[in-house]
Amino acid sequence: MSKKHIFYNKAERLYVYEFLGIEEVASRLNLGSRTIRNWKDENDWDKKKREYLKSKLAFHEELYEFARKLMYSIQEDLASGEKVDPGRMFAFTRMLPLITKIKEYEDVAVKKEQTQENKGLTEDIVKLIEEEVLGITGNAGL
């Protein structure tokens, strides 16, 4: 059985969903960083990571908007002197700590992603330097 068959899914999960870097994933699975990097590049793990992070951010925004609407409806009831439905009040008070936890998680995830993105020169940055600074275009060698 190949390394890929045994470790691929776990490596992808660590990189995409737990925001670990290539070196950390390789270390945890006792694999070479080149192996992890090849798997990452072959299957576009960076795109999967961005999509995952985007979905988490979208969920937070939806939850926040729902809590805001619920809060406004409770405020309207209070302002008009109506009795506030205990179920809505309970739901609102239960949501507040969850929103805080989700936001903290997202902040940590975004910070990890930004830290990983800022390490070294990527292939895209090298190409940009070649084109903008050195005047080398992609077709120059053809």
| Contact criterion met (CB below 8 Å) for 88 and 73 | yes
What is the structure's pLDDT at 113? Answer: 63
Contacts of 1 (CB under 8 A, 6+ apart): none
40-73: buried (b, 16+ CB within 10 Å) or exposed (e) per residue?
A: beeeebbeebeeebeebeeebeeeeeebeeeeee
Contacts of 27 (CB under 8 A, 6+ apart): none
What is the structure's pLDDT at 114? Answer: 65
Chain segment 122-139, per-residue pLDDT in tens? 666 667 677 766 677 765
Q: With the CA atoms of 33, 21, 131 and 142 taken in that order, what torsion angle do they form, in degrees rounded to the nearest 10?
A: 30
Chain segment 10-56, per-residue pLDDT in tens? 999 999 988 888 999 999 999 999 999 999 999 999 999 888 888 77
Distance CA 23, CA 4 (A): 17
Statement: residue 119 has pLDDT above 50: yes
Would you list the domain boundaries of the chain? 1-43
* pLDDT tier for residue 1 given thresholds of 50, 70 and 90: low
